[in-house]
């Protein structure tokens, strides 16, 4: 039995955040048995983490969606969120 891993994008929000699912599994007699599920959210601009997690075809698709405008909009949204939290 060999332990295998597969990674997939499970969701993408309108602000560009993506949800990534990493599954570790074994295959035995044609059946997959999941050993572990790990979910992670990535936000626009996390290019290095994106590259480390996803296969090249998925990475390139997300990279094409994460334009400079999308990353700037995300950063602005986060900056506004931080200001609101400071004022609370």
Q: CA 85, 41, 38: angle at the middle one, nearest 5?
A: 130
pLDDT in tens, 7-57: 999 999 999 999 999 999 998 888 889 999 999 999 999 999 999 999 999
Residue pair 26/33 in contact (Cβ under 8 Å)? The answer is yes
**In this structure, what token pair is assigned to residue 3?**
């332990």
Strands (E), 1-88: 3-12, 18-28, 31-42
CB atoms within 10 A of CB 18: 22
The Cα 19–Cα 8 span in angstroms is: 9
pLDDT at 88: 64
Give this prediction's pTM. Answer: 0.80
């Amino acid at each position: 039995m060999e332990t295998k891993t597969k990674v997939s994008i499970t969701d993408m929000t309108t602000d560009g955040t993506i949800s990534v699912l990493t599954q570790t599994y074994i295959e035995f007699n044609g059946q997959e048995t999941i050993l572990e599920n790990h979910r992670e959210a990535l936000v626009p601009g996390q290019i290095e983490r994106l590259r480390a997690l996803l296969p090249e075809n998925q990475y390139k698709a997300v990279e094409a969606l994460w334009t400079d405008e999308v990353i700037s909009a995300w950063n602005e949204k986060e900056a506004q969120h931080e200001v609101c939290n400071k004022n609370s």
